[in-house]
Chains A and B, each alone.
Chain A
Amino acid sequence: MTVTAVQKDPSALTMTLDAEFDAPPERVWQLWADPRQLERWWGPPTYPATFTKHDLAPGSRVEYHMTGPEGDQPKGYWDVLETDPPHRLVFRDGFANDDGTPNEALPRNEVRMTIEPISEGRTRMSIKSIFPNTQAMEQILAMGMEEGLTQAVGQIDAILAGERVA
């Protein structure tokens, strides 16, 4: 298994995922730094990504679109916040309008990617993803724990119990 650990914190709406690769840090960094390599994994085979603008300097905007099976081309962008090759990349991933401008109505999430060597030729990559509307999710999830609510709470608990992941 390449994915070695996953931590999900629904109340903070963050997910942290660690993966290990049999490759040096520079090789893993290239998966992000080279747009042609990035295109090989960012989108699923049914929705491959094409990066039309790619510059990882802090403050830059990376632009891409996906191409769906029916020719639909949803657009996305990254706002690069921090770059420290080959160790760290922080960006906000958002959706874009057809003209490429950021779609402010849709949520963005922040991705913090770090790369560190574990041993000769082996590298750990960690992805921490943070959603902006923590409060929203927190409130929704907290509803099951508030006192004095109706029997609906029991129903929510029952539903959530099936979804709770350690």
Chain B
Amino acid sequence: MASPDFDRVFGALADHTRRDIVRRAIDGREGVAELAGHYPMSFAAVQKHVAILERAGLVTKQRIGRRKVVRTNLQGLHAARRLLDRYEDLWRDRIDRMTDFITDTRETDT
């Protein structure tokens, strides 16, 4: 089982529009209204996507002067990249427990 943080990251990235928002927001130049202009959906719908990404830690909103821009959180990307490493650790631990269990039961069998 992945940790809750990764669940959120993956849930957030499972959607095409949200992946696109993450890519566009690397520049950190656009606000929600500008982002909404790229998609054939309502402002409210885009706002919702941004909120999901925000909760997953993949984007943050930053104030620049009077504007608020959406910026991709590099640490969030980093976290996503680390998932496979974490997943490997999870399975390595399982293999260790399997090995221990096989060894233990062999000793009690004989």
Contact = CB atoms under 8 A, between A and B. Distances in A.
Contacts of A140: 13, 19, 22, 77, 80-81
A22 interface: yes
Contacts, number: 115
A21 B93 contact: no
B99 A2 contact: yes
Interface stretch (A5-13, A54-62, A84-92): A5-13
Interface in A24-68: 27-28, 31, 37, 40-44, 47, 66
Contacts of B83: 137
Contact of B19 (A8, A129, A139): A139
Contacts of A41: 94, 97-98, 101
B13 A133 contact: yes
B92 A27 contact: no
B14 A21 contact: no
Interface of A: 2-3, 6, 8, 10, 13, 15, 17, 19, 21-23, 27-28, 31, 37, 40-44, 47, 66, 74, 76, 95, 105-107, 125, 127, 129, 131-133, 135-137, 139-141, 143, 149-150, 152-153, 155-156, 159-160, 163, 165
6 contacts: A3-B92, A74-B1, A105-B11, A106-B11, A140-B81, A149-B26
Interface of B: 1-2, 7, 10-11, 13-14, 16, 19, 22-23, 26-28, 72, 74, 77-78, 80-85, 87-88, 91-99, 101-102, 106
